[in-house]
Amino acid sequence: MSTNFSNDSNLLLLKEIVNSIPVRVFWKDRDLRYLGCNTLFAKDAGFSTPEELIGKTDYQMVWREQAELYRADDFRVLKSGEATYDYEEPQTTPDGETIWLRTSKVPLSNEHGELIGVLGIYDDITEVKRTAEKIQHLASFPELTPNPIVELNSAQELTFTNPAARLEFPDLLEKGIEHPLMRFFSGHEVNKEGFKGSVAIKREEAVGDKVYELHISFIPEFDVARIYAHEITDRKVYEHEILRLATRDSLTNCLNRRAFLDEMETAIKSSRRHGFSVALLMFDIDHFKNVNDTYGHEVGDTTLKKLADLVTDNIRSSDKICRWGGEEFMVLMPHSALKEAGLAAEKLRALVDNYDFDKPAHISISIGLTLLKDGDDTSTLPKRADDAMYHAKGNGRNRVEVL
């Protein structure tokens, strides 16, 4: 129930965010034609502005040689409905050079949960790959690399730290194996036999407010494990934000319909496998049209956000709340029997009924409650909750009804 002002403001803010992050961002429709991108991506493609790409395909880009590769990745995301993260692929630049990208793609859905395209991000990892090749070539001179390198032996004693490691982690030598960077080794009994193989491990580790990607290699001829650390804090932040944009309602920050249906499908499968009950609540604001007509759509949006926050703060951490559409919301409650779910629904109804929303001071909600039954799926379960909600409206509103 957003006004044009609210929508325009959100779009401008999102555009500013997308154009300010130091990674390339693009999105395509189901026919894999570009719907938009940020400025960095447009420059990679040889254009001055993002608008010049709209409607084009990868066959019309400077990287046309890789078009089939990119489109195969896109179709795989569209077909599976699942995101792909951190895979490497080549790209031809406007200068005819080949660079390497680390790419992530997620499916885009509309408010009805229908797949409408693909959202992708990538960063240029050419220099990272070149650095890795140099490290391999100059393995006996690891102190030259700008990335931290640490070695320890099978007795879990640090045997080497390069200058970058000592600069990045000044307390590493003092704490040794107890340092957060070494959590993999301090938290696990690393079998000495592991130092006799050539196992390679890739993992992420948080140290303070930074995140590092660790590449751990066991080098048996020297009885050491060598750790190469690369900071990926910014990349993790951007990935998290892209995922949030793909799974959350922009106004209320509740799950969007597609993400909620995924949670519901998981809960249904787990319920049938482990035998626990699942409850579903559906509610909307009684006479919400009057709020918009009296106070305007901006106040209506604020009311929706306050309602979402109030409900979110008063359900269990295991429960999932979704903005189903308009003023309609759903709450998925795994491990909830009818009595427990009914009490929770009545608690939410009373909380809303007694809460001061300022403008308007008072609203009420009608709640429909149902439990998962044999044969239910992600279509029948929400339909029954919707029917129960309309029974609540038909029986006077501001009440809970069970089907």
Q: How many angstroms separate the CA atoms of 224 and 221, rounded?
A: 8
How far, in Å, are 46, 130, 299, 308 from residue 295 at the CA level? 48, 59, 6, 19
Per-residue tokens: 90:
């080549």
Tokens of residue 123, six digits: 């960063």
The single-letter DSSP state of residue 319 is -
The single residue listed with the structure tokens 């799974």 is 247
pLDDT of residue 244: 78
Give the residue among 386, 112, 380, 367 at the shortest CA–CA distance from 256: 112
Please tell me if the domain spanning 4-124 has the same topology as the one spanning 248-402: no
Rounded distance between C-alpha atoms, residue 267 and residue 9, angstroms: 36
User: Domain 130-234 adopts which CATH fold?
Assistant: Beta-Lactamase (3.30.450)
CA dihedral 238, 243, 249, 255 (to 10 degrees): -140
Q: Give the count of beta carbons closer than 10 Å to the beta carbon of residue 328.
A: 15
Domain boundaries, the chain: 4-124, 130-234, 248-402
Return the SS3 of 13.
helix
Burial string for 91-126 (b: 16+ CB within 10 Å, else e) reads bbbeeeeebbbbbbbbbbbeeebeeebbbbbbbbbb
Token pair of 252 as six digits:
């209320």
The contacts of residue 43 (CB under 8 Å, 6+ apart) are none
Give CA separation, 331 vs 261, 313, 397, 403, in Å. 11, 12, 18, 15
- Residue 161's CB is within 10 A of a number of other CB atoms, namely 21
Q: What does the CA dihedral 80, 82, 86, 89 come to, rounded to 10 degrees?
A: 30
- Give kind and range of the element (H or E) at residue 209: none
* Tens digit of pLDDT at every position of the chain (403 positions): 444 545 667 667 777 877 888 889 999 999 999 999 999 999 999 999 999 999 999 999 999 999 999 999 999 999 999 999 998 999 888 888 888 999 999 999 988 888 999 999 999 999 888 887 776 766 666 677 789 999 988 888 899 999 999 999 999 999 998 999 998 887 655 555 555 555 678 889 999 999 999 998 888 877 888 899 999 998 888 888 888 788 889 899 999 999 999 999 999 999 999 999 999 999 999 999 999 999 999 999 999 999 999 999 999 999 999 999 899 999 999 999 999 999 999 999 999 999 999 888 899 999 999 999 999 999 999 999 999 999 999 999 999 999 9
Whole-model pTM: value is 0.49
Contact 185, 195 (CB under 8 A): no
- DSSP string for residues in 147-176: S-EEEEETTS-EEEE-HHHHHH-TTHHHHG
Please name the residue that has the structure tokens 């608690």. 347
Domain with residues 248-402, CATH architecture: 2-Layer Sandwich (3.30)
- For 4-124, CATH gives 3.30.450.20
Q: Is 49 within 8 Å of 36 (Cβ atoms)?
A: no
